[in-house]
Amino acid sequence: AREKELNILCWEGYNSAQVLDPFREKEGATVKAESLTNDPTMINRLRSGESKVWDLINVNNPWARKIMYPEKLIKPLPKDEFMPYFDKMLEQFHPPYKWAMSDDGSELLGMTQRFGPYSYVVNTDKISRKTAEETGWDLFNDESLAGKYGILESDDWNVFNIFLVAGLDPFKEHSPEEMKAFEDTALKVFKGAKLIGDIATMNQALISGEIDLHMTGGTYSVSPARADGFPEMRAITPLKGPMNGKGGVSWIEVTSTVNNPELSPLAPEFLKYVQDPEVAHTVAFAEGTFNPVAQMGNKACFDLFTKDELDAIQWDSLEEEMARSVEYDIVPDYEKALDLMNNAKRQRS
Amino acid sequence: MGAGQSETARAGGGRPGEGADRPALPVLQLVGVSKRFDDFTAVDDISLDIREGEFLTIVGPSGSGKTTLLRMLAGLEQPSEGNITLRGTLINDLPARRRPTCLVFQSLALFPHMTVGRNIEFPLKAKGVSAAERKARALELLRMVRLPEAYYGKNVMTCSGGERQRVALARAFAYDPDVLFFDEPLSALDYKLKKLLEKELKDLHKETGKTFVYITHSLEEAMVMSDRIGVMRAGKLVQVGSPDAIYGQPQNRFVAEFVGEVNVIGVTLSNGAWLSQETAEPVRLVLPQTMAGAERAAVVIRPEYMKFLAAPGDADNVVSGRVYNEYSLGSRIQYQVRAGERVFLIEMSRSQIRPGTGDGEVLIGWNAEDAIVVEA
Amino acid sequence: MGAGQSETARAGGGRPGEGADRPALPVLQLVGVSKRFDDFTAVDDISLDIREGEFLTIVGPSGSGKTTLLRMLAGLEQPSEGNITLRGTLINDLPARRRPTCLVFQSLALFPHMTVGRNIEFPLKAKGVSAAERKARALELLRMVRLPEAYYGKNVMTCSGGERQRVALARAFAYDPDVLFFDEPLSALDYKLKKLLEKELKDLHKETGKTFVYITHSLEEAMVMSDRIGVMRAGKLVQVGSPDAIYGQPQNRFVAEFVGEVNVIGVTLSNGAWLSQETAEPVRLVLPQTMAGAERAAVVIRPEYMKFLAAPGDADNVVSGRVYNEYSLGSRIQYQVRAGERVFLIEMSRSQIRPGTGDGEVLIGWNAEDAIVVEA
Amino acid sequence: MDRSRPRRSHLMIWIWTIFVAVAIYLPVACGALAGLSKGRYFLFPIRAYSFEWWQKTLDSLEIQRIVQTSILIALIVTVVSLVLGFFGALAFARFDWRGRRLYQKLLLLPIFFPQPVLGLALLLWFNTLGIQPSWHTAIVAHLVWIVPVVTLVIAIQVYGFDPAMEEAAADLGAGRWMILRDVTLPILWPGIWSGALFAFLLSWGNFPLSLYTAGADSTIPKWLYSKMVAGYTPMVPALGTMSTLAAATLLLAGGAIAGFVKARRAR
Amino acid sequence: MSDATLGTSSTVREKQGKERQGRSALRHLSLPAGARCASPILLFMALGFLAPLLTVIGFAFAEPRSFAVFESFTLRNFAEIFNPADTVWMSFAWSLALALLTVAALLLICYPIAYGLVRVFGRWSSLVSIAFVFPLFISENVRLYGWTLFFINHGVLDGLLAGIGLSGPNVLFTPEITLFGMIYTYLPFMLFPMTLGLSMVPGDLIEAARDFGAGRLMIWREIELPLAMPGILIGALLTFVLAAGAVAEAKILGGQSVIMISHDIENAFTYSQNWPRGAALAVLLMIVIGGLSMAVMARLDLDRILGRR
Ligand SMILES: Nc1ncnc2c1ncn2[C@@H]1O[C@H](COP(=O)(O)OP(=O)(O)OP(=O)(O)O)[C@@H](O)[C@H]1O
Ligand SMILES: Nc1ncnc2c1ncn2[C@@H]1O[C@H](COP(=O)(O)OP(=O)(O)OP(=O)(O)O)[C@@H](O)[C@H]1O
Ligand SMILES: NCCCCNCCCN
Ligand SMILES: [Mg+2]
Ligand SMILES: [Mg+2]
């Protein structure tokens, strides 16, 4: 009954006309895509019963393997059909790629595509790249920058970043003293922020000179500004930090088929469709945010990127920045930390 | 009373339930009907036969329940008690639109969003009459109520008070019911127009043979138009009868005072003679009849039966006084004559000549047969 | 005309601008006042002096501009042309609230969200009178308009039509202005109450010496209460004068017909004699005066001056006919006598005895001096 | 009447109204400028103008479908809430009945309910009932919130309604349907018209309810929101400007037609 | 109260009330007209509102961070909210304070316009009111973002002022601009009910009052205001409720310089995955807003104010 319809729950980009319209025309199908801006909400949509609605879900790396598959919210992909695609991806994604596989390594849970480092963004005309990389998260401990930075509204990610500003590794369990340090840092950082807002607001504020830098951000958020002719805006990955010496966090998107009792046959078709070099390039430069894609490992795909596009996604330093980052993971103290952070946020006023 | 007698006597001096001598079924019959609003009784135990084809007028002080009575008859209000029957069928619960009756509201209730024409056509539309026919009929009705045909397309809210009243009237006639109720339909009209429409209504009544029930505050209207008049007071029907009966044989002082101006003298029986209690020393009065058993009564003399006397012997009862006021009432002149503490009203046709003695002392009086004795 | 003459004559038979013989300044003066709504002229070039302390009544057909005239005087509407002066000061632009005048609206304009008491107190509150004083005055006014004191706290929207009218009246008196305007204030009242309030108004007028300008459709009201009556027609003031003058010397046929019932006969001058044109063959009429230069005129005879004749020589003009209708008007009886195509009205006091001959042929007639000749 | 003072205060009222109206349109104008600027990010004066974003918006199948869905939802919501709200308003303000006081209070409750939560609650409820969220369920969600609002708006008008009008009509032989069509509805028309406008606009602009209850179907506010928070392009203000222009055209054309019909009927 | 009891109890009461239904032309079916008119709406609300409402209440009493609705019962969600360490009360305070200020400001801003629409603009009035309607066709997010573009550095205002050597004021990302945004967004919701209310004040009453010497202030206070009150009140309630649930203004214009209560509720359902807490916050918000509104409604009885003419 669902031959001609496909519903996708995803981060933005996949829901753009450039990506979907050709697929719609090709399949003569009704494709609906809804984009949300945080992983937990998407997961909860499935939990609250919408697994009957969606066919594909696109979230950041840890969720498929650690949460959705154990909770039976998604189902595995046929390996024989999909494993070969990983061969053509950038080296780091070569099979068996950890975040695409189930814990025991037996099942393929999803396909990877976009990825990137994600720490903070500065206007290098105001703060040099060198200073920014060397100072690291202490930038946000610098009282002289109070009132000159913004915070991207991305609360799960902000939790990691507050830990990092406090000099703590977010992906560990924390002692009460450490949590106190987190709380104090959260209070200070939020108090000092000029604004909290979405990506468009952050970029607009950077470009207008309302702020000089903002916390939580990376190629993902700043690339549209760079593409728009503001190369001085730059995503920064600190040289060092409290996570075994690393200071940056990176993300990788994994798209999985939902455990929908009436899964659309178009779901695997779509997953294949976006592996196509042309389409992968479109996904990378879909309206909104511009990101590197795993498919750039394929020369046919890579050659489609112009110099300006490569500049926009900071291709020049991508490899080293990824190397300076740890991969996004579930934070053990997330709930407690989030409550503390929300309290801190309210005390801004 | 000459030629007109047959005219006004047609309906006879009726009293509720008294219509047994007439063969026809009453078109509407009320038996013990009351209407209460919360704990206030607006209409109180009224029984009344409304006869097929009659012109019945209800008068009564403001707030006496006239409008409420009409609303019950029209089906817009349900009696709290009692029964209303239409030609023998109980209709307490029959909705207004199923009754062959129509009410011209005191507030007119014109539809503000419709033109004059569409207002008038409304009941025709409800009946499914074709547009062309409706319009023809509406124009005819406009002529009938003396409004120019051009008013057909006029916004009804830009009409003057009197114009609106005429539109309401035309609309009711368009409905063409068996029984028409009117709640003071002519009160906002000028004298001349009122006369014209009175005549029109009267003619329509005669022509159509429909039953009219009419509320008015104008005594003249009531007298000229009605077959019978009902007088209400505080929710009760005090007297029902022909205009002559109401005027000439009021049942009590309230009715007498209500239907025209009167001179009323309180009297007591003393040694078989009626004595006025309202003059300095008791005066013996000559009265038409004695009231069986009553010790106290009221004597009512209409001003037109009071006369200026040339000599004390010119009337059965004589009072002397002084004219202190004189009003023209149009065709009549009214004199106020002060006799001691009391003021007597005397009314004369403008064409009569007052046989008085200038501004000095005058003699006034009346004959025994011209006075009415009523309950005190 | 006896004792009352001084009373009714007090104000004299005035005509606009004719008040020069009176020393007092007119309280309100209109000079060439017109009011147009879009291209419709509701009030058309009216000049009128309203005298300090007089009781002036405006009558006229519905839509003739009475309400509009009053609204201009009250300051609620501005004249399109002409000037209004108050004791010599031009007040065309003075807002209603600054004028020492007050209007009782035809629509009453009671404040629906206030109790009866608060409605009455409103003008006092506007003047800054203290609450206690306001209440005392309101209760006094309630008594004056014959409403129970308990109505002080009553929701005004639950009052009957007549009750509301009395509240509106009480509220106007509370304002206590120099000039009071009334737009049909008694039209919804019953006969008895109307008489009472007429008297009350008249007494208040006398006591307070205030100027009253009054619109009514009741001829009787106008006749009884007014010092002067102004008759309007299609926006124009046709005649202004004392009630007697208006009734007895109407300036034209319209006025004659408007202020009471009339017999009108069209006549033409032929060889120095007036000939009636409305009988089968021309009949020569005996008239009080000739009209200089006019070829055509109308003869007006009020019904009360028409008489049943015992013999043809009993009146100057004689007609023979047949009584075909007789109405009781309360204190009077009206006869309709058909003579050929024409119907004559004859009115007699109920106490008079008709010297007729049953239902057969009767002779009716009138004397030359009882007829009025007016413009045709 | 005191000529000078009302004139002066009327002038003040005109000035104030125009001032506020200009303020109302300021951000709309800014949005229009942003939609016409070549760059994604806004700097004034605009460096380069371009119709690129308009073109993209018009070309997008996605947006076509979303606009259709939004219009459909809003129209259905308008019609249904007018029907429910009209009778609801009669029960609210016109008739005296025993349960009225309680009813008046109950009816207000949904309005006092935060919409995001209402949306979530409805989503939970639909799931319990085994109904898949889609634009159909969004209609129900919109109605839960909009029907009471429309009822209130119409009720204001109903309070001014003279029951004698209906009585007179009934007395003149009109059936219930005719009374409704020829008397009650036309007299209450201004209130119904405002109710319709409210219903349409509240549905058209609703975000929180649609977010949770429209399932995979998107509406304009949902789309705009997701684009704003991540993936902003000047297509966002471009679509905004287009919808105002379209609405203006529709309303003006509707008004002109209504005026024309009225003028013809008056003749 | 369950929806079943709601349905039957009101029906029974209505039947008892039948005798008093006199004045309706529609009265002759079994239910009184009022109840008949109300029943579709009541049925719809029972299904569309009461049931979900119960679900939310159920969640409010479920174990924190669980989805065990109706399976567990605990007061812990409320206990946490009332714990002094939890600063969520600040969000309540900000939302209610800004909502009240919004209503107050809108009363002042809209009154002259509504008055103008009813009494001054004459035949222009429909055009003027349509002018206030058009912008509503754009999502409020976009319109609010338009203000950001207006006020931001190098935005429209700044750019224009730069032309004369000045620079724009620094107003974005503050509580004040949040209030401004709320006033802006909810203006039509005050304006239209208020206009409707004012249009119901009969002109002759104002004339009569003027004739009795009442000054403008007195006419306004004694006649115009009380008679227009239903419209004003409904406008005020509507804007209050909408504003108390508002969040976009604080996010887009205010830079989250204050956190609104709806934002906290939203967070509980998203980032926190703590539905029971979100539900408990929602229930509290509803009690606060509903309670306040009911108090106002109770004191100003619509029926009485209007005299039910
Ligand atoms: N719906 C109602 N609720 C309460 N009281 C009412 C209602 N309708 C009428 N009354 C009261 O009932 C009484 C009779 O009212 P009704 O309107 O029948 O009087 P009326 O004789 O027509 O008076 P009027 O001549 O002044 O029109 C009045 O005292 C009035 O206040
Ligand atoms: N605001 C207005 N706009 C247009 N025409 C009007 C307006 N007010 C009055 N008129 C018209 O002016 C004429 C005079 O109206 P006005 O109310 O003064 O009459 P009236 O003599 O008081 O009548 P009635 O005795 O019926 O109350 C009427 O034909 C009426 O239709
Ligand atoms: N609001 C954005 C914060 C999260 C960044 N991750 C983006 C990755 C898209 N899958
Ligand atoms: Mg009445
Ligand atoms: Mg008038």
Taking only the tens place, the pLDDT of each residue in D239-248 is 988 888 887 7
Q: Give me the pLDDT at residue E192, please.
A: 87
Question: What residues in C contact D2, CB-CB < 8 Å?
Answer: 93-95, 98
The mean pLDDT value for E105-109 works out to 97
Q: How are beta strands B332-339 and B296-301 bridged, if at all? A: unpaired
Residue B177 or E17, more confident: B177
Q: Give me the pLDDT at residue E29, please.
A: 44
Residue C193 or D84, more confident: D84
The mean pLDDT value for A242-256 works out to 96
Question: Is residue C309, in this structure, part of any structural domain at all?
Answer: yes
Question: What residues in E contact A341, CB-CB < 8 Å?
Answer: none
Write down the number of H helices and E strands in chain C: 9, 20
Helix axes D235-266, D61-89, angle to 10 degrees: 50
Helices (H), chain D: 4-36, 52-59, 61-89, 100-108, 115-129, 135-159, 163-171, 176-178, 185-187, 189-204, 208-213, 220-229, 235-266
Q: Is the pLDDT confidence value at A34 over 70? A: yes
Cβ atoms of A223 and A201 within 8 Å: the answer is: no
* Nearest protein Cα to ligand 2, atom 2: C37
Given the CA of residue B189, which atom of ligand 2 is nearest to it?
25
DSSP at D111:
G
Q: Is the pLDDT confidence value at A77 over 70? A: yes
Final residue belonging to a domain, choices B254, B280, B304: B254
E255 close contact with A: CB closer than 8 A:
yes
E11 band by pLDDT with thresholds 50, 70 and 90: very low
Q: Give me the pLDDT at residue C59, please.
A: 92
Q: Which amino acid, E132?
A: F
Going edge to edge, which strands form the sheet with B40-51? B40-51, B26-37, B81-86, B89-90
Q: Give me the pLDDT at residue B270, please.
A: 76
Is the pair D, E in contact (3+ CB pairs within 8 Å)? yes
Q: Which residues does residue B31 pair with via DSSP β-bridges, in sequence order?
A: B83
Q: Which fold has domain D61-266?
A: MetI-like fold (1.10.3720)
Q: Is the pLDDT confidence value at B6 over 90? A: no
- What's the CA gap between E108 and C304, in Å, rounded? 68
Question: Is residue C281, in this structure, part of any structural domain at all?
Answer: yes
Q: Give me the pLDDT at residue D208, please.
A: 85
Q: Do C276 and C238 belong to one domain?
A: no
C194 Cα to the center of ligand 4, angstroms: 15
The mean pLDDT value for B16-40 works out to 75
Tell if the CB–CB gap between B95 and E23 is shorter than 8 Å: no
From the list E10, C6, C140, D231, the residue with the least C-alpha distance to A14 is: D231
Helix axes E175-199, E125-133, angle to 10 degrees: 150
Question: Is residue C11, in this structure, part of any structural domain at all?
Answer: no
| CB of C351 closer than 6 angstroms to any ligand 2 atom | no
Question: Is residue B273, in this structure, part of any structural domain at all?
Answer: yes
User: In sequence order, which residues have a C-beta less than 8 Å from that of residue A5 and are 6 or more positions away?
Assistant: A29, A30, A31, A32, A264, A266
Neighbouring CB atoms inside 10 A of D159's CB total: 22
- What's the CA gap between C279 and C317, in Å, rounded? 13
Q: Give me the pLDDT at residue A256, please.
A: 97
Number of domains chain C is built from: 2
The mean pLDDT value for E157-182 works out to 93
Q: Is the pLDDT confidence value at B266 over 80? A: yes
D171 close contact with B: CB closer than 8 A:
yes
Range with lowest mean pLDDT among A36-50, A181-195, B72-86: A36-50
Q: Is A293 helix (H, G, I), strand (E, B) or coil?
A: strand
Q: Do B308 and B339 belong to one domain?
A: yes
CATH code of the domain covering residue C131 = 3.40.50.300
Given the CA of residue C158, which atom of ligand 1 is nearest to it?
31
Q: Give me the pLDDT at residue E70, please.
A: 81
> Chains meeting E at 3+ CB pairs closer than 8 A?
A, B, C, D
B24 band by pLDDT with thresholds 50, 70 and 90: low
pLDDT digits (tens, 9 = 90+) for B271-292: 777 777 666 566 777 777 656 6
From the list A207, A206, A225, A223, the residue with the least C-alpha distance to A215 is: A206
Q: Give me the pLDDT at residue C86, please.
A: 94
Q: How are beta strands B361-366 and B307-309 bridged, if at all? A: antiparallel
Distance from CA of D7 to the nearest CA of C (A): 13
Residue B21 or B249, more confident: B249
Q: Do C38 and C158 belong to one domain?
A: yes
Given the CA of residue B69, which atom of ligand 1 is nearest to it?
18
Q: Give me the pLDDT at residue D150, please.
A: 93
Q: Is the pLDDT confidence value at E16 over 70? A: no
Q: Do B59 and B145 belong to one domain?
A: yes
Is the pair B, A in contact (3+ CB pairs within 8 Å)? no
Cβ atoms of D95 and E225 within 8 Å: the answer is: no
Distance from CA of B113 to the nearest CA of D (A): 6
| CB of B41 closer than 6 angstroms to any ligand 1 atom | no
Helix or strand (DSSP H, E) at B228: strand B228-233
pLDDT digits (tens, 9 = 90+) for D42-77: 998 998 999 999 998 888 888 888 999 999 999 999
Question: Is residue B13, in this structure, part of any structural domain at all?
Answer: no
Q: Which amino acid, B332?
A: R
A112 Cα to the center of ligand 3, angstroms: 14
Q: Give me the pLDDT at residue E269, please.
A: 82
- What's the CA gap between A280 and A278, in Å, rounded? 5
Q: Do B247 and B289 belong to one domain?
A: no
| CB of C64 closer than 6 angstroms to any ligand 2 atom | yes
Mean predicted lDDT score pLDDT of chain B: 83
Chain E residue whose CA is closest to D31: E146
Cβ atoms of D187 and D196 within 8 Å: the answer is: no
Q: Do B154 and B187 belong to one domain?
A: yes
Final residue belonging to a domain, choices C207, C231, C254: C254
Mutate to test the interface with D, among C93, C99, C107, C158 (most CBs of D within 10 A): C93
Q: Do B246 and B265 belong to one domain?
A: no
B105 Cα to the center of ligand 4, angstroms: 9
Which mutation among A11, A41, A63 tests ligand 3's pocket best, with the greatest number of atoms within 8 A of CB?
A11
Which one of B349-358, C46-55, D120-129, E215-224 scores highest in mean pLDDT? C46-55
CA dihedral B3, B5, B7, B8 (to 10 degrees): 150
Q: Give me the pLDDT at residue B234, please.
A: 93
Range with lowest mean pLDDT among A292-306, B1-15, C56-70: B1-15
Question: Is residue B8, in this structure, part of any structural domain at all?
Answer: no
Given the CA of residue C164, which atom of ligand 1 is nearest to it?
26
Residue C195's domain comprises 28-254
| CB of B165 closer than 6 angstroms to any ligand 1 atom | no
B316 Cα to the center of ligand 1, angstroms: 45
Buried b (16+ CB within 10 A) or exposed e, B122-161: bbbbbeebeeeebbebbbebbebbbbeeebbebebeebbb
Residue B220 or A134, more confident: A134
D62, D215, D218 ranked by CB distance to A21: nearest: D62
Q: Do C207 and C139 belong to one domain?
A: yes
B362 Cα to the center of ligand 1, angstroms: 46
Q: Do C320 and C240 belong to one domain?
A: no
Q: Do B340 and B279 belong to one domain?
A: yes
Domains and CATH numbers, chain E: 81-305 (1.10.3720.10)
B1 band by pLDDT with thresholds 50, 70 and 90: very low
Given the CA of residue C69, which atom of ligand 2 is nearest to it?
18
Q: Which residues does residue A10 pair with via DSSP β-bridges, in sequence order?
A: A35
Residues above pLDDT 90, as percent of chain B: 36
E204, E205, E218 ranked by CB distance to C126: nearest: E218
Model pTM greater than 0.90?
A: no
Question: Is residue B58, in this structure, part of any structural domain at all?
Answer: yes
Question: Is residue C6, in this structure, part of any structural domain at all?
Answer: no
Q: Is the pLDDT confidence value at E7 over 60? A: no
Cβ atoms of B43 and B71 within 8 Å: the answer is: no
Q: Give me the pLDDT at residue B20, please.
A: 43
From the list D148, D147, D141, D149, the residue with the least C-alpha distance to D208 is: D141
> Chains meeting C at 3+ CB pairs closer than 8 A?
B, D, E
Q: Do B187 and B227 belong to one domain?
A: yes
pLDDT digits (tens, 9 = 90+) for D168-179: 898 888 888 999
pLDDT digits (tens, 9 = 90+) for D99-154: 888 898 888 778 867 787 788 789 878 877 878 889 999 999 999 999 998 998 89
**In chain A, at which residue ranges do the beta strands (DSSP E only) sit?**
5-10, 30-35, 56-60, 74-75, 111-123, 149-152, 193-197, 213-218, 233-236, 248-258, 325-327
Ligand 3 cavity residues, CB under 6 Å:
A 11, 37, 60, 118, 154, 157, 220, 251, 253; D 230
Q: Give me the pLDDT at residue A84, please.
A: 95
Residue A6 or C349, more confident: A6
Q: Give me the pLDDT at residue B282, please.
A: 65
Chain B residue whose CA is closest to D181: B126
A75 band by pLDDT with thresholds 50, 70 and 90: very high
Give backbone dihedrals phi and psi of E139, rounded to 5 degrees, phi first: -55, 145
Give backbone dihedrals phi and psi of B229, rounded to 5 degrees, phi first: -125, 135
Range with lowest mean pLDDT among B182-196, B298-312, E237-251: B182-196
Calculate the CA D259 to chain-centre distance: 22
| CB of C107 closer than 6 angstroms to any ligand 2 atom | no
Q: Give me the pLDDT at residue A259, please.
A: 96
User: In sequence order, which residues have a C-beta less than 8 Å from that of residue A187 and are 6 or more positions away?
Assistant: A344, A347
Question: What residues in B contact E28, CB-CB < 8 Å?
Answer: 93, 95
Distance from CA of E22 to the nearest CA of D (A): 9
Q: Do B219 and B286 belong to one domain?
A: no
What sign results for the dihedral spanned by CA atoms B156, B162, B167, B168?
positive
Final residue belonging to a domain, choices B236, B254, B272: B254
Tell if the CB–CB gap between E120 and D14 is shorter than 8 Å: yes
Distance from CA of D262 to the nearest CA of B (A): 12
CA dihedral B334, B337, B342, B347 (to 10 degrees): -30
Given the CA of residue B190, which atom of ligand 2 is nearest to it?
25
* Weakly modelled stretches of chain C, pLDDT under 70: 1-24, 188, 277-282, 289-293, 354-359
A48's tokens: 């609250």
C159 Cα to the center of ligand 4, angstroms: 10
D195's tokens: 């109710």
- What's the CA gap between C152 and A104, in Å, rounded? 89
Tell if the CB–CB gap between B97 and E25 is shorter than 8 Å: yes
C258 close contact with B: CB closer than 8 A:
yes
Q: Give me the pLDDT at residue E302, please.
A: 59
CATH code of the domain covering residue B357 = 2.40.50.140
